[in-house]
Amino acid sequence: MTGGAGFIGSHTADVLLQRGYEVRLFDSLQQRVHPHGWPSYLAAEVETIVGDVRDADALARALDGVDGIIHLAAYQDYMPDFSTYYTVNTAGTALLFELIVGRRLPVQKIVSASSQSVYGEGRYSCNSCGEVYPQSRPEPQLTAGEWEVGCPQCHAKATPLPLIESAPVHPHTAYGISKYALELTTLNLGRKYGIPTTNMRYSIVQGTRNSFFNAYSGVARIFTLRLLHDQPPILYEDGLQQRDYVSVHDVARANVLALEDDRSNFRNFNVAGQKMTTVLEVAELLTSLCDKRQIVPQVSGEYRFGDTRHTVSSWEAIGSLGWQPDQGMEHFLAEYVAWVRQQPNLEDFYARSQQAMRSAGVIRRSDAAPS
Ligand SMILES: NC(=O)c1ccc[n+]([C@@H]2O[C@H](COP(=O)([O-])OP(=O)(O)OC[C@H]3O[C@@H](n4cnc5c(N)ncnc54)[C@H](O)[C@@H]3O)[C@@H](O)[C@H]2O)c1
C-alpha cells in the first residue's frame, strides 16, 4: 500500500490484516504529516518501506512480490505549489504503471485514492434550465459575500444535487485535476495492459489518526482543536455549505471491498457518508461532544479560495456491491474527540495552518466579513 502510514492507509491496513493479508506499507513519511517518523498506531505485523512514489528504485523495491496495490500516497493541500500535485499524484501513479508494465510484475489489482474534488463545483438543478454543471463561483461574487451557486445559463439560484459517478467532472483545483488525471491514467493504462483498476472518490473522511500536522483541512480536527482550546469554531462563508462526511472505518472497508470484488474493475466509485450535513451542524455537534456548549460557532464572513459551495456524494453505485456507510457522524465524531483528548502535548495547530493559508492568499475576506 502506498501512503500506508497515513490516516486512511493505516485503517485500511488493519482491515487487510484482519482478513489475513500480508501487508507492506510504502510511505515517504512526509515531514509535515509524520514529523516523528513511522506513527505508533501502525500494527506490528506490517512490513514498512520508506520511499517516495516519484522514486523509481524505491517504488520498484516496494512492488517486489506484490499482487495487489492500494495506492493512497498523495500531495494534498490548499497551497499554490501546483506542480507538486501533478508530480506526486499523477506522475507517481504513471510511474507505478511504468514499473508494473516494464517489469511484467504480476499485479492483479490496483485500487487508487481519488476524491470528490474531481466534480469541481458539482451538479445542480435549475428550475428553468434543468440539470447544470456550474464553474467555480467568480471571485467578485465571493468578495460580495454572495455564496450560493447560480445557473451557468440563466444565473438564477440553482439547487445542489447529489454527485453521481456518471456526472461530468470539472475539477478546478490543482489537487482535483491531478486526481482526475490519476483516474484517466489508471483506467486507461489498466485496460490497455490488463491490470484491473478501481478509483475511489472519497468524500470528507473523518476519524482517528488524522494527522494534526497535516495542513489539509479536516474540519473535525480544526474545530475540535479550537474547542479544546476554548476557542469557537470559525465557519467560512455563512457555515451553510453542505457536505457529507464518511467514517475512516467505512472507507477502509470500501478499499478492501474494491480490492477483492471484480465487479469494481475499471470503475470509479464515490465513497460517501450517510447524509448531507452543513458545516454549522458539524460545529454544533462538536461543541456538544467537546462539552463546550457555552461556545457559539462564529461566522467569519471569510472564504477559502477554491472551495466548493455544496458537495454531497451519492454512494448508490458502491452500494450495489454491498457496501454502505455503517457509522453515523455522531458515532465517529465522538470517537474522534475521545482520541484527540488522549493525544499528548496538544497545541493550537489551527492557528499555524490558518496563518500559512492566509499568507498564501487562500483565505480571503468578503465585504460581508465583520470588521
Ligand atoms: N482524508 C480525506 O478526507 C480524503 C478525501 C479524498 C481523498 N483522499 C485521498 O486519500 C488518500 C489518503 O489520504 P489521507 O487522508 O490518509 O492522508 P494522509 O496524509 O494521512 O496520508 C497520506 C500518506 O501519503 C504519504 N505520502 C505523501 N506524499 C508521498 C510520496 N510522494 N510518496 C510516498 N508517500 C507519500 C504521507 O506520508 C502519508 O502517510 C490520498 O490520496 C488523499 O488524496 C483523502
Contact call for residues 212 and 225 (beta carbons, < 8 A) = yes
My answer on whether 62 and 182 are in the same domain is yes
Taking CB atoms within 8 Å and a gap of at least 24, the contacts of 181-187 are 181/86, 181/89, 181/90, 182/89, 182/90, 182/93, 182/112, 182/114, 183/112, 183/114, 183/118, 183/268, 185/90, 185/93, 185/94, 185/97, 186/71, 186/93, 186/97, 186/110, 186/112, 187/266, 187/268
Same domain, 57 and 203: yes
On whether residue 114 sits in a domain, the answer given is yes
pLDDT digits (tens, 9 = 90+) for 75-116: 987 778 999 999 999 999 999 999 999 999 999 999 999 999
Output the nine-digit C-alpha cell for 175: 489537487
264 lines ligand 1 (CB under 6 A): no
Domain contains 252:
yes
Alpha carbon distance 33, 42 (integer Å): 14
Atom index in ligand 1 nearest the CA of residue 112 equals: 41
CA–centroid distance, residue 314 to ligand 1 (Å): 22
Cβ–ligand 1 contact at 365 (below 6 Å)? no
Determine the structural domain holding residue 324 and report its residue range.
7-121+164-213+245-274+312-328
Going from the Cα of 8 to the center of ligand 1, the distance in angstroms, rounded, reads 7
- The per-residue pLDDT of the chain, averaged, comes to 93
Q: How far is the CA of 123 from the centre of ligand 1 (A)?
A: 26
- Res 295 pLDDT > 70: yes
Euclidean distance between CA atoms 339 and 228, whole angstroms: 12
Whether residues 59 and 205 share a domain: the answer is yes
- List the one residue out of 187, 232, 220 whose CA is nearest residue 335: 220
Overall domain count for the chain: 2
Q: State pTM to two decimals.
A: 0.95
* 54 and 148 within one domain: no
177 and 88 part of one domain = yes
What atom of ligand 1 comes closest to residue 114's alpha carbon?
7
Asked if residue 197 and residue 87 are part of one domain, the reply reads: yes
pLDDT confidence of residue 217: 52
Residue 87 lies in a domain: yes
Pocket lining: 112 vs ligand 1, CB cutoff 6 Å: no
Q: Residues 157, 168: one domain?
A: no
Residue that terminates a domain, selected from 161, 188, 223: 161
Does residue 153 sit in the same domain as residue 64?
Answer: no
CA distance 10 to 45: 12
196 occurs within a structural domain: yes
User: What is the whole-number distance in angstroms between the Cα of residue 72 and the centre of ligand 1?
Assistant: 5
**Are residues 25 and 139 both part of a single domain?**
no
Residue 297 maps to a domain? no
> Do 70 and 12 form a contact (C-beta atoms < 8 A)?
yes
Ligand 1 touching residue 287 (CB < 6 A): no
For residue 117, how far is the Cα from the chain centroid? 8
pLDDT band at 351 (very low <50, low <70, confident <90, very high): low
> How many Å apart are CA 104 and CA 342, to the nearest integer?
46
Whether 208 and 63 map to the same domain: the answer is: yes
Is residue 293 one of the residues assigned to a domain?
A: no
Is 226 inside any structural domain? no
Residue whose CB lies within 8 A of the most ligand 1 atoms, among 28, 40, 180, for a mutation test: 28
Residue 282 in domain: no
Residues 117, 137, single domain; the answer is: no
Residues 104 and 132 in one domain: no
Q: How far is the CA of 141 from the centre of ligand 1 (A)?
A: 32
Q: Which set of grid coordinates corresponds to residue 188?
A: 486507461
Judge if the beta carbon of residue 6 lies within 6 A of ligand 1: yes
Among residues 173, 196, 61, 71, the alpha carbon closest in space to that of 116 is found at 173
The span from the CA of 21 to the CA of 166, in Å, is: 33
Beta strands 363-365 and 302-304: pairing type?
antiparallel
Kindly report the CATH number assigned to the domain that includes residue 84.
3.40.50.720
State which H helix or E strand residue 358 sits in: helix 349-359
Model confidence pLDDT, tens digit, residues 200-252:
999 999 999 998 776 555 788 889 988 998 999 999 999 999 999 999 999 99
Task: Identify the three-state secondary structure at position 69.
Answer: strand
**pLDDT at residue 352 above 70?**
no
Distance 33 CA to ligand 1 centre (A): 9
CB 81 within 8 A of CB 179: no
